[in-house]
Amino acid sequence: MDVADQLVRSADDGDVNGVSRWLGQGAVVDAPDGDGRTALDRAAQKGHADVVRRLVEAGADLEQQAGEYRESTPLCLAASRGHTAVVGVLLDAGSRTGAQGRLGYVPLVLAATTGDEGHPETVALLLDRGVDINAVMKHRTALDWAVRFGQEEMVHRLLGRGAVPSAETLATAREHLGCHPERRRKTERIALALLSVDIAPATGREPGTEAGNLA
């Protein structure tokens, strides 16, 4: 096993002393292991904040390709798994928060919608750091995706932080109801939450029309 593999293994294990040791022995900070994964990639995925901090200090590329298929970035990996401390380290180091990676992932959207109800603490951190709550990934905002996935708690959290629903957001709720009639009451509650705030842009319809379609 060469020094690059040893560095990545230490990062994957959360062994910050091992990471420092291999870096001190000449390991290139972003050198991939035999699987094509780097130390920062593995540490961000596993949630090892101290290791991530050490790698960033050593000059690791914040926007490097990451993930099993090189489709992501370290920040997106951490956000999608709710590794809030890692997200904080990466933000402190200057990681971008807009669409990134080969597939145009948006960290906030991933944090809000991965898992049953997303990762509230990670979402809160991103928003506290000034991330655009209405940023779009694949033509949908975090709120749109949360509605699409029927994530009632996250919908309320995002609305409470200033997310702006649109006519398309309400249409997504209707679509979710059609696909999941067994979740009717939950979807109706989501629709009522959406209708409790201003809808933008104006649709030319009365809000009651949308509500009626979901009732």
In a domain, 194, yes or no: yes
What tokens were used for 161?
């932080």
Burial class (CB in 10 A: 0-12, 13-18, 19+), 116: exposed
Same domain, 85 and 183: no
pLDDT tens column, 53-76 = 999 999 999 999 999 999 999 999
The predicted-structure confidence for 82-109, as pLDDT tens digits, reads as follows 999 999 999 999 999 999 999 999 999 9
pTM of the model: 0.88
Domain range for 40: 1-105
Distance CA 173, CA 168 (A): 9
Least confident of 7-21, 142-156, 185-199: 185-199
Same domain, 158 and 85: no
Final residue of a domain: which of 105, 129, 164?
A: 105
The verdict on 150 and 205 lying in the same domain is yes
* CATH code where residue 97 lies: 1.25.40.20
Q: Are residue 7 and residue 86 in the same domain, yes or no?
A: yes
Residue 62, pLDDT score = 98
